[in-house]
Structure 1
Amino acid sequence: MKNFHFLYIAITCFLTGTGISFSQGDRCGSIQPFCAGTTEFVFQNSSRVNGNVARAESGPNYGCLETQPYPAWFYLQIEEPGNLDFQIRQTVNPDGSGALLDVDFIAWGPFQEEDAFCENTSLTAQNTIGCSFLPSAVETFSINNALRGEIYVVLITNFSEAAGYISLQQTNTSSPSAGETDCSIVNILGDNQKVCKNDVVELVAENVIATRYEWYVFDDVLNVFKLIPNESGDNYTVTETGLYKVITINGNTGTELEDEVLIEFFDLPVATTPKDLQICNSGNVAFFNLNLAREELLQNYLNTTEQFSLNFYASQANFENDSPISDPAAFESEDDQEIIATITNLGSGCSSLPVKFRLQIETPIPIEIAEITAVCIDLNGNLAGSISIGEDLGSNYSYEWTPFNDPDGDGIENPVYNIVQVPIEQNILVKITDLVTGCTKEFSTELKLFSPPQEVLVQIEGNDFENDFRVTGNAIGGIGGETSYEYQLDNGPWQTDPAFNNVAPGNHTISAREVNGCGNATSQQFRLIGYPRFFTPNSDGYNDTWNVVNDASNSISKVFIFDRFGKLLKQLNPSSGGWDGNFNGKAMIADDYWFLVEFKDPDSGAIREYSGNFSLIR
């Protein structure tokens, strides 16, 4: 017999308690499943403070329990066969600390699922496997050689009748011969669920032996569970958010089990279809950062605290197979690739319906600005004309110039940079942006001053017998910087080579200009007199006579030939056959001879002279 000093203390506590109701498993008919596992099962006890059932029901054989105050009924089922050792402990605090409270128990079994294990005929002395009425806060019992599927009933009583917590724990789980309890019986309806509105939730009362079921939904207004009419099967289809409860009733065993589950339906997030992503690239393949579409996809949620993840798919097949793009920040794509995207609410796990956009590879800015801009000045150092840099590409482009380029003061930089006075040499920078595609390009051009040549000098070289000349121009630089020139003979094409070959006899000019178009200069007119440098009067049919080459205008009127002493040997008509090397019927010796020609200047009409020498060879 126990020392009832503990009862006196319990009565004292009851007199000062609050009388809060506690009804978990206070009758065998409301017995609750228990799963040991590897963790400690802790629950608040029933006591004078919170219990409405002060004594267990009459009928069962309670064995050693002389009294059964504030009962808590549990049952367990064996999953793996073996030995199971249990410890029951009752303390003031849920972590096992504080004052120790006297706890007692009795266990019956084994039973099968079809047995009415809550009937008095089942809870007998013959079926008792453990019992303790010791004045202790810690009790132990064992189930030896338990078999799979067996059920055992445990009644725990609070002899102290004080408020506290009871722990029930299997203590030999690490033993190789330990059996295991079936934890699937504890959670009848499964875990709470967060469900997307396009899903269907079917609650099934699993792992229980019952002949009838009652389904309830919690009424938030009345703060009670309300019975759902006409629902008596083991499953119930849920279509709305709510706290649902099932009571499973076994008409054979007289037991009732209940479980609750919270089902929360969440709206599907709505993704906003983003604009097509565009990138500037001169090729047909480019890398895209798909995350740039994030803000548009989440347009509906920018002002909320909700968190979302994004998934991108390269094809409809990949979307259907849930195979998203692994690296959306650097996705290699061809032009006009279609991308499928969804957003997922991280709080609910719900994903949006898919939206689609395209990847487009855009042509870069359609303009080029030279690295050097020639600024033409005249020989007095003045600007030869205005200079314009850039091009107006239309209203879809913006411009950022350095130095700032807003001459009209409207706050918008002009597309063309105009230079109207001689600048100090400097760089001009511009960044051009395509406002539609987002393509940008930066240019830098260096301003350089150039001027035309001051004059052109001419050097003349001739060739024997070929009646042609090599003429070379030499431009004398102006006042600009490093300058290159190109040259023109008469009205012919411009060339960078200053030399002109095979120039025909006659009147000519050479012009030179700065290669950037900064003005030109022209030489004084010069005349080329064509003549052979020697002749061989040997009657072989080759170079037997000598004469000058007249031009098309026949401006040469007279030709005089002299020996080295200045003696006139012959006067020729340029249109005649020429001199045969004889004087007064006598052949002249091989020697150098001189000639003098008279010709009319085509510009002034004045008679001018030209002299030179040639050789007679025998």
Structure 2
Amino acid sequence: TLASTAGCDSILVLTLVVNDTLLTDLGTVAICKGESYNFNGQILTSSGVYTDTLASTAGCDSVLILTLVVNDTITVDLGTVSICQGQSYNFYGNVLTSAGTYMHTVVSTTSCDTTFVLTLVILPNPIVAALPDNGFVCEKEPINLSAEATGGTAPYAYSWAGPDGFTSADQNPLRPNATVLMSGTYTVTVTDYNGCSATDTATITVHPGPDVTALPDNGIICENETILLSAEASGGTAPYGYSWSGPNSFLSTDQNPELPNATVQMGGIYVVTVTDANGCTATDAAAVAVYSIPVTDLGIVSICNGESYSFGDQILTETGVYQDTLEGANGCDSIVILGLNVHPTYVDSLSAEICVGDAYDFNGTPLTEAGIYYDTLTTSAGCDSIQVLTLTVNAILVEADVLPDTCVFKTLTLTALNLNPNDTVTYLWSATPPGLEIEDPTADSTTATGPAGNYTITLVAINQHECVQTFEFSACIYERPCEHPYIFVPNAFTPNGDGQNDYFRARGDDITEIFFMVYNRWGEEVYRTEDPKHPGWDGTFRGKALTPDSYGWYLRATCGNGQVYEGKGNVTLLK
């Protein structure tokens, strides 16, 4: 209500309308990692709830709300797959034959990519060569197969297969006593360490062997008659070749040779070897005796080497078949045959080695000195058998000592010296009673530590001839008490970097455990260690050098004998 110019009321009436702020939820939008979303000029790449405010037609705010979800892409490493050369691998429908890294991408339920990664390795195949190549053998000879593998990855396994049910896992198998059924192709498969394989073949032909019959069989003729030899071959592959050999250096390539004017020296064994067209052979023998009838065989007489045997008017000293001809009543000479076997004198050479101080039993005789010794024995034939022994006497020469020879604190020095440069010596140190620890019991020189006490230290030295030298030493170790002055803490140090007295630490030769702490005048800890070999406090705290002052310390130390030292005091830090 207002006053008009006339002094009357003037009333103003206003109608006010309040419009709502408009909120619009655009819902959820999903994208994949690495993508972006344009939200009214905003480029969005991260998951979250985003808003944008616009002006409505009524002049009020209109708020848009968007929920953005960023889904991850997935990479799955399938690892490494190995195949042999010539093989293939099916990778999601792709047939792979070359080494490399392969990827296959599929769309997941979130519409984002899932990538599978595979590394394919191609393993080299081995190479195998089988022998023989187109080889042949004759019946009853051995078939020698061989295979040589290279490449791939050793070790190799071999597998043979062949005619007549043949199998073998040997690299170089042998089939004895070949038959015709063993002819054919032999296949070898070699498999390397990775399971990759290779194959080769060897072709073998087994030729049937010939047979031969030699005549006469135990033929007997008189001197000056004709020896008629004959051979009949069959089997194998014709034509045949013949080769005869016999007494008196007889040789012939005739199938049926004739030997006129036989003499006693022509008597004996005639051997014929027939060779067929494939080079396969067969052998037979004909026995021919040339003498006057009757024939008297005196059998075999044995004598020893150096002896003689009287046969008619012959004095025999060598092994052989001997004849003596007598006049017979039937027109043929009477031949007496003697087989003489001369047993040799056997010489058995022996060698032996002993060590100095040992003895060698030589057929009941103890020997202690190097030399060559002889002993004569009797064989089962009653002849001499001589044994010759070469005896070598080996020595071991070592010097040893344990130092010092007085009672010592904690550590002993054990030394041994091989005085023979041609010897290889091994050592074994030991000690009684138990408790002394030897650093290297098999070294020539070493050290030993242990608790206080008296010990017996033994060294056994053995050379390559197994000769032994033994030493015994008495040794003593004394014990230091776990107290001052064997445990010492200084009262001042100067950490100025001049390399002298730069560190503050507790000192002791036999400290095995330690708790060492340093604190300032307000009781604040500035250094602590539990390392018996600690370098010490360098005068710093939290990386900063402290000012010169007096600091307190506390020490608790355990010594090697189990005793405990506990102490405290002050140290002055100087510059």
TM-score by length of 2: 0.26
Structure showing greater relative contact order (alpha-carbon pairs closer than 8 Å, 6 or more residues apart): 1
- Which of the pair is proportionally richer in strand? 2
- Return the structure number with greater helix share: 1
Q: Which has the larger radius of gyration?
A: 1
